[in-house]
Amino acid sequence: MRHAAIDPALFIENRARLRQLLLPGSLAIVNANDIPPTNSDGTRRLVANSDLFHLTGVAQEESMLLLFPDAEDERQREILFLRETSDLIAVWEGHKLTKDEARAVSGIQNIQWLSDLPRTLHRLACEAEHVYLNSNEHKRAEVVVESRDARFIRWFQREYPLHSYHRLARLMHRIRVVKSPTEVALLQEACNITRAAFERVARFVQPGVNECDVEAEFAHEFTRRRGDFAYNPIIASGRNACVLHYIDNDQPCQDGDLLLIDVGASYANYNADLTRTIPVNGRFTARQRQVYEAVLRILRASTAGLTPGKKWRQWQAEAEDLVANECVGLGLLTQAQISVTVDDPARKAVKKYFMHGNGHPLGLDVHDVGFLSEPFAPGWVMTVEPAIYIPAENMAVRLENDVLITDNGVVDLMADIPIEPDDIERLMAR
């Protein structure tokens, strides 16, 4: 693993939090992800299953966690199953976790090889009354490829049809959305790596460089600092920035244009999510600065508005009102247009210039799990990402920081990443 070792106390505590939510007599099962295939005999690197990593710190294929807090044999109350290695595997794929290494990483004492799974799983299934099985229940997920979890659910329910089944994802969403101090520190490190890469890029950008060159600068800095891309980066110059999920990153950056950079580092599977908009030639025009400062005011107000007890829907509406008022000042909308009452929020006039959400939970997933229908609470980490898109002017400005909600206000995890327009210009001049 690239990242430094994580104190297993984090994973021990996470399992304890989950156990408190399970019904008596419950068996909970969490699988690793499949290794994603490409074409022919190709594969990509394993993407760690976020729930399994949250509970064990293990990011190895074919791993499985069984939690049975009420098992009669206390040694069976938490078991981690691993793929057993061999000389052949070591030659072709490299090192795999030993049992001792898995104990050190996870804090789980009972480590078994997958060959022992059928017998142990049957014993525990016969003893359990309730079974919690896992799946991807993110509201925006489009699940079109059958996952390892889906195959396991089908098999398990066929073998044991009379159990009482429950959705583990509901419980994982509840415990994962509140970040512990250790998790916040890992997120902060991802933000620190992102800061170093952004400063490198800001000094690199000039008229004539290609968007892919900018992406390469991020890749260099992320890799040398033991990180990775948290998601496909958006490096969008000029009108490209008006495409919300632009990822071609293959056009030259023109003198006089703005460059929208939406990129974040991943460290130890925890993710940062940054957006900055910078002038390609190092100097904002008067109009660009006018729009930029409007979005920056919105970001400041929206950040302050992340208070415990408020719901996301209210926070989003407040952001849209802020954008609407700034659009009046920018000559994009009239006061009459933003004063019109509409039944469908999607038809509000401001949606022409700001059509997406103002932020989302952040953690082991970039769009992290959690219940946005419930009030914000201390321990949530949220992105704040207001924007104004003006295709008619070949321009968009989006700004984004990652912040921790506390009882005493928010803590900006990206407070040291330049964002004031004068600071951006000074950084680029270097």
Tell me the pTM. 0.96
Kindly state the tokens that stand for 9: 């106390």
What's phi and psi for 207, nearest 5 deg?
-55, 135
Kindly state the tokens that stand for 224: 């040398």
Q: What SS3 state is found at 285? A: coil
What's residue 16's pLDDT?
A: 98
The continuous run of DSSP H or E covering 251 comes out as: none
The CATH topology of domain 181-429 is Creatine Amidinohydrolase (3.90.230)
Q: Which amino acid is at 104?
A: A
Q: Which amino acid is at 68?
A: F
Homologous superfamily (CATH) for 9-176 = Creatinase/prolidase N-terminal domain (3.40.350.10)
Q: Which residues contact 182 (CB under 8 A, 6 or more apart)?
A: 6, 7, 9, 10
Kindly state the tokens that stand for 286: 């008067």
Summarised one tens digit per residue, pLDDT across range 417-428 is 999 999 999 999
Cα-Cα-Cα-Cα torsion 240, 243, 50, 362, nearest 10 degrees, comes to 90
Kindly state the tokens that stand for 85: 């290695």
Residues written for the chain: 430
Residues of the chain with pLDDT under 70: none
Q: Which of 35, 21, 27, 127 is nearest to 79 (CA)?
A: 27
Q: How far apart are CA 341 and CA 400, in angstroms?
A: 29
Q: Which of 287, 251, 312 is nearest to 397 (CA)?
A: 287
What's residue 346's pLDDT?
A: 83
Summarised one tens digit per residue, pLDDT across range 12-69 is 999 999 999 999 999 999 999 999 999 999 999 999 999 999 999 999 999 999 999 9
Expressed in angstroms, the distance from the first to the final Cα of the chain is 35
Place of tokens 């044991």: 160
Domain ranges of the chain: 9-176, 181-429
The continuous run of DSSP H or E covering 253 comes out as: none
H helices of 75-210, in order, are 87-92, 99-106, 117-127, 148-159, 168-176, 181-204
What's residue 363's pLDDT?
A: 98
Q: Which residues contact 192 (CB under 8 A, 6 or more apart)?
A: none
What's residue 280's pLDDT?
A: 98
Kindly state the tokens that stand for 340: 């019109």
Q: Annotate 170-209 with DSSP letters as a single string.
A: HHHHHHHSS--HHHHHHHHHHHHHHHHHHHHHHHH--TT-
Summarised one tens digit per residue, pLDDT across range 330-387 is 999 999 999 988 888 888 999 999 999 999 999 999 999 999 999 999 999 999 999 9
How many Cα atoms are found within 13 Å in the side-chain-facing hemisphere of 235?
A: 26
Residues 369-374: contacts with CB under 8 Å, at least 24 apart: 369/50, 369/137, 369/138, 369/169, 369/172, 369/173, 369/176, 369/177, 370/173, 370/174, 370/176, 370/177, 371/173, 371/174, 371/177, 372/311, 372/312, 372/313, 373/311, 373/312, 374/311
Kindly state the tokens that stand for 363: 């953690």
Contact yes or no for 293/335 (Cβ under 8 A): no
Q: How far apart are CA 231 and CA 185, in angstroms?
A: 20
What's residue 341's pLDDT?
A: 85
Contact yes or no for 423/280 (Cβ under 8 A): no
